[in-house]
Amino acid sequence: MADAIIWSVGGYAPPHIITNKRLSERMDTSDEWIQTRTGIRERRSAGDEETTATASIQSGKAALEASEFEAEDLDWVVVCTDTPEMWSPATACFVQDALGARQASAIDLTGGCAGFLQTLQIMSPLAQAGKRLLVIGTELLTHALNWNDRSTAVLFGDGSSAFLMGPSDAGHGGIRIGPGLSRSDGSQTDILGKPYGGTRYAITPELVREGRLHTIRMEGPKVFKHAVTMMSDIGRRVIQEAQLGLEQIDWVVPHQANQRIIDAVTHQVGIPAERVFSHVARFANTGSASIGLAMSDMLDQRLIKPGQRLLSVAFGAGFSWASQLFFVDQVPPAQFIHAGEPV
Ligand code: ACO
């Protein structure tokens, strides 16, 4: 059977840069607190002029432009997001229309910050079966923040990333999707999420007045502990199951949640820090976009080389966590749009 291959990669970091200093003018926090607790220096914001669909279109277009394919060649457009364009229809439908992917079926998937790896694992068999897919992870988390809650407002940013994927027997090289694992523990749904606005907790005038409408709620220390334990465990397990040694992993590409979590996972897995990619200082936590955005940046910086093996690990609301191995047969073409200005 053919393997699933990432043929090209697109990344989009919206142009508004919000520094820690800017946040400290708006709430009771400081650059020093944010940097020491999270490693984050700044994050991107899409502002009011963009939506999840427009950001997804940017990264999707970037991936297509970098490739030899046209939107008409796509069989599937998939958007993984926790901050959708609307409740219904799916964000992917707006993207499919705007890109002109007239032969494609479009669907959204939601899985918190582990969602992008889960989505790759769900969609890879379709690529193996010969389908061409545009798999996009997008989050406009600055639209989902309670700006009165300093413990969450400083952590997140906006971004979008896209992988154009297809089968290995179609004559196009790229990054091969290797073995992957994912798990969930639904007994932990209360420690991280956006609980309001669904059928359990309806939107009320009080929520709107308090600015808690659709905003993220998190028990930070519990999330920290689970994140480190679960990502380290599932990272080690996928390496073992693939019968690889740690020394055969060239890069770890972790979910870019915060530097302390990344450092703790690095320590627990036992991999040298110089083989762990982080750009959390510049882009903060971009949820479902995070892993693709990191790979897009790595390709832009020419850090990914033929023959390398990459291990990605992620965790997020649910609680869900996942690991994924990638094997670089060829360096895929990529385009990373990241010019920005402080606001
Ligand atoms: N600025 C200044 N002070 C703050 C801020 C802030 N932005 N936020 C919280 N504080 C204060 C708290 O009020 C508290 O004050 P108190 O002691 O007077 O009560 C103090 O700082 C310490 O708060 P803690 O929560 O104990 O701080 P901690 O060292 O645990 O760090 C943090 C908080 C960074 C949120 C940490 O718990 C963490 O990293 N958790 C994981 C969060 C995360 O990355 N989530 C990922 C999001 S989800 C995802 O990726 C799927």
Q: Are residues 115 and 242 in the same domain?
A: no
| Residue 66 is assigned to a structural domain of this protein | yes
Whole-number Å distance between alpha carbons of 192 and 112 = 9
Q: Does the structure show a pLDDT above 90 at 203? A: no
Q: Of 68-82, 109-123, 207-221, 242-256, where does mean pLDDT reach its minimum?
A: 207-221
- Which domain range does residue 208 map to? 178-330
Domain boundary among 137, 158, 175: 175
Same domain, 258 and 158: no
300 domain residue, yes or no = yes
CATH assignment at residue 148: 3.40.47.10
Per-residue pLDDT band for 197 (boundaries 50, 70, 90) equals: confident
Pick the closest to residue 230 from 280, 258, 264 (CA basis): 264
- In percent, the amount of the chain with pLDDT more than 70 equals 99
62 with 43, same domain: the answer is yes
Mean pLDDT of 289-310: 98
Q: Give every CB contact of residue 19 below 8 A, 6+ residues apart in sequence.
A: 31, 41, 42, 342
Q: 20 and 146: one domain? A: yes
Is the domain of 67 the same as that of 110? yes
Task: Tell me 289's DSSP state.
Answer: G
Paired residues of 44 in beta bridges? 17
> Bigger pLDDT: 194 or 15?
15
Return all residues near 216 (Cβ < 8 A) that are at least 6 apart: 141, 144, 145, 146, 152, 156, 192, 193, 194
113 lies in the same domain as 217: no
Cα(180) to ligand 1 centroid in Å equals 31
Joined tokens for residue 232: 């380290």
Contact 134, 91 (CB under 8 A): no
Q: Which of 23, 31, 37, 312 to mutate to test the pocket of ligand 1 (most atoms within 8 A of CB)?
A: 37
Tokens for 246? 């740690």
pLDDT at 194 over 90: no
Active site residues: 113, 255, 285
Torsion sign across C-alpha atoms 316, 117, 115, 323: negative
Give yes or no: residues 30 and 92 share one domain. Answer: yes
Q: Domain end: 141, 175, 209, which one? A: 175
Name the domain count of the chain. Answer: 2
Residue 343 falls within a domain, yes or no? Answer: no
Q: What is the band of 64 on the pLDDT scale with cuts at 50, 70, 90?
A: very high
The whole-angstrom separation of Cα 301 and Cα 309 is 17
pLDDT band at 124, cuts 50/70/90?
A: very high
The per-type count for the chain, helices as H runs and strands as E runs, is 11, 15
Q: Are residues 213 and 139 in the same domain?
A: no
Query: What ligand 1 atom has the least distance to the C-alpha of 290?
Result: 50
pLDDT of residue 254: 98
Residue 335 lies in a domain: no
Q: Are residues 227 and 137 in the same domain?
A: no
Name the residue with higher pLDDT: 194 or 62: 62
In a domain, 342, yes or no: no
Q: Ligand 1 pocket, 186 CB below 6 A?
A: no
> How many angstroms does the Cα of residue 192 sit away from the middle of ligand 1?
13
Which of 125, 155, 175 terminates a domain? The answer is 175
Whole-number Å distance between alpha carbons of 153 and 262: 19
Ligand 1 centre and the CA of 220: distance in Å?
Answer: 6
> Do 236 and 168 share a domain, yes or no?
no
Answer yes or no: is 228 within a domain: yes
pLDDT in tens, 206-263: 877 776 667 898 999 999 999 999 999 999 999 999 999 999 999 999 999 999 999 9
Predicted structure pTM score: 0.96
CB atoms under 10 Å from CB of 314, counted, come to: 32
Residue located nearest, by CA, to atom 34 of ligand 1: 37
241 and 262 in a single domain? The answer is yes
Q: Mean pLDDT score of the chain, rounded to an integer?
A: 96
Q: Residues 182, 322: one domain?
A: yes
Q: How confident is the model at residue 195 (pLDDT cuts 50, 70, 90)?
A: confident
The verdict on residue 60 lying in a domain is yes
Looking at residue 201, what is its pLDDT?
86
* Cβ contact 157:140 at 8 Å: no
